[in-house]
Amino acid sequence: MHPSSSSRYGRFRFDAGSLALNFVATVRHRGSRPRDLLSSPEGLVRWFGLAAPHIAVSAVSAGDHEKALLLREAVHRTFRSLIRNEPPDPRDVDLVNEWASHPPSHPRIETPSLEVRWVCADPVGSVLSEIARDAVTIAGSGARSRLKMCDSESCRMLFLDNSPPNRRRWCAMSICGNREKIRSFRSRKKESERKGPSSEGK
**What residues make contact with Zn ion under the rule CB under 5 A?**
150, 152, 155, 157, 171, 176
Coil, strand, or helix at residue 69?
Answer: helix
Dist CA 96 CA 103 (whole Å): 13
Shortest Cβ 46–Zn ion spacing (Å): 22
Dist CA 167 CA 161 (whole Å): 8
Shortest Cβ 17–Zn ion spacing (Å): 13
Shortest Cβ 70–Zn ion spacing (Å): 25
Which residue, 25 or 38, is less far from Zn ion as judged by CB? 25
Residue 158 is given by DSSP the state E
Which residue, 15 or 73, is less far from Zn ion as judged by CB? 15
Shortest Cβ 188–Zn ion spacing (Å): 21
Distances (CA, A) of 133 to 18, 20, 46, 112, 171: 11, 8, 21, 32, 23
Which residues touch 40 (CB under 8 Å, ≥6 apart)?
65
Which residue, 50 or 173, is less far from Zn ion as judged by CB? 173
Which residue, 17 or 123, is less far from Zn ion as judged by CB? 17
